[in-house]
Amino acid sequence: MKRLKKENLAPFLEEMNNKRTVYCPQSVDEKDIILAPLGKGKITDEACKTSISFKSMLFPQKEEINNFSKDGVEKILDTGKTAVFGVRACDFRSMEFVDAFMARNEMKDPFYFAKRNNILVMTLACNCPVSETCFCTDTGKAPFLEKGFDLQFFDAGSFYIVESQSREGDKVLESDYFTGSDSKDGETLSKIKDNSMKAEMQAPGFAKAVEWLKGNEPEPEFWDDLATACIACGGCSFVCPTCTCSNIFDSPSNGGFMRFRTWDTCMYEGFSRETSGHNPRGSLGSRLARRYLHKIKDDPENYGVSGCVGCGRCSDACPVGLGMIEIIKQINRI
């Protein structure tokens, strides 16, 4: 356990930036806080919800998967070293899900893991909910991590208390910016953790809904009713830290063609529509059902990890109030 003064955060990240490309939450326009490479804006030193999670560093919105150039077929693999600071516990857990998803059936997605194996994740625990749609404690998890991280930062006012759980993390703590911990830091940490668990958050009744879904399923009419409000914008998917659905398309490039993988959303009608016109999920209700049920019913069964981490981004993004919080409340009313 070590300490880092908050005033030393920026110099520390800049020092690290010499070895790895460092991303952290920054405010660029005094409004949105985005996850961006160092130097884009003002570093945010408190736990905050970036509009998109650090999933975008590992599974970018658009990436090349094949390059059919004039000189033959090339392989493209991004293996640059990166680091990210300020990842909240919920977003870190979302990556545990994506890791499991991207590595099934002996086949590991090479584009994802090329980046995943080269990223150093520095998480920052939330002392209190960072927005009114946070509900990680309702999903049965804490606003901090118990295990699996490289480095975890706790906000202790004018400084951070930092824990390492990996050799990579230990190495980072050797930097002169970190100082030895005080004998009281252990106690401070317990207090921070206790308080963060007691902080009031959204509590739609996640566990109750998940339990009910194990033996039951809402009727199609349930989803059709909700769908009367949905405008199929796909916002919920694009901001979701565990959404992994993708599209593949080809574009001309350098006298040849490039094949790209991009984010996609199952909320769009064309997602599963077949060339014949037949669509197994032609109705918006069936698409809503698919999106929300697989997160909290099928994903835990398939991967042993929940597809919802309680970050609340879908509830933030949805223009008609149909995020996971509302869906869970509705399921619990059945």
Partner 1 sequence: MKNPYMPYPVRIDDIQIATEDRSLKTFKFVFLNKEDEEKFSYHAGQFAELSIPGKGEIPIGIASSPTEKGFVKFTVFKTGVVTSYLHDMKAGDIMGIRGPLGNWYPWEMLEKGKNIVIIGGGFAFTTLRSSIIYMLDPANRSKFGNIDVIYGSRSPGMLLYQNELFEWEKRDDINMNITVDGTDDPDWKYNVGFVPTIVEEKAPKADPDTYAIICGPPIMIKFTQPVLEKLGYRDDQIIMSLENRMKCGIGMCGRCNIGKELVCRDGPVFTLEQLNMTPKEY
Q: Would you call 318 exposed, middle or buried from its count of C-beta atoms within 10 A (0-12, 13-18, 19+)?
A: buried
How far apart CA 168 and CA 149 sit, in angstroms, is: 10
Radius of gyration of the chain (CA): 21
Give min distance, CB of 168 to partner 1, in A.
Answer: 21
The answer to whether the beta carbons of residues 298 and 116 sit under 8 Å apart is no
Smaller CB separation from partner 1, 135 or 263? 263
| Least separation in angstroms between CB 137 and partner 1 | 28
- Smallest distance from partner 1 to CB 58, Å: 14
Pick the closer one to partner 1 by CB: 27 or 286.
Answer: 286
Task: Quote the crossing angle between the two packed helices 220-227 and 284-293, to the nearest 10°.
Answer: 110
Cβ closest to partner 1, residue 182 vs residue 224: 224
In this complex, which beta carbon is closest to partner 1, that of residue 49 or of residue 290? 290
Rounded-to-integer distance, Cα 95 and Cα 267, Å: 22
- Rounded to whole angstroms, the Cα distance separating 156 from 149 reads 19
Rounded CA-CA distance 231/240 in Å is: 17
| Least spacing, CB of residue 119 vs partner 1, in Å | 16
Binding site for partner 1 (CB under 8 A): 65-66, 68, 73, 75, 77, 102, 104-105, 107-110, 113-114, 244-250, 252, 256-257, 259, 261, 264, 266, 271-276, 278, 280-281, 286, 290, 294, 298, 301-302
Dihedral, CA of residue 105, residue 108, residue 312 and residue 120, to nearest 10: 140
Min dist. Cβ of residue 82 to partner 1 (A): 18
Q: Which is nearer to partner 1, 67 or 175 (CB)?
A: 67
C-alpha 161: how far from chain center: 23
Q: First and final CA of the chain: distance in angstroms?
A: 47
Query: Please, what is the minimum distance in Å from the beta carbon of residue 236 to partner 1?
Result: 14
Strand pairing report for 82-87 and 21-27: parallel
Please report how close the Cβ of residue 249 comes to partner 1 at its closest, in angstroms: 7
Beta bridge partners of 63: 261
Our CB check for partner 1 shows the closer of 113 and 212 to be: 113
Q: With respect to partner 1, which residue has the nearer C-beta, 203 or 248?
A: 248
- Residue 221 CB, nearest distance to partner 1 (Å)? 15
Q: Which is nearer to partner 1, 36 or 245 (CB)?
A: 245
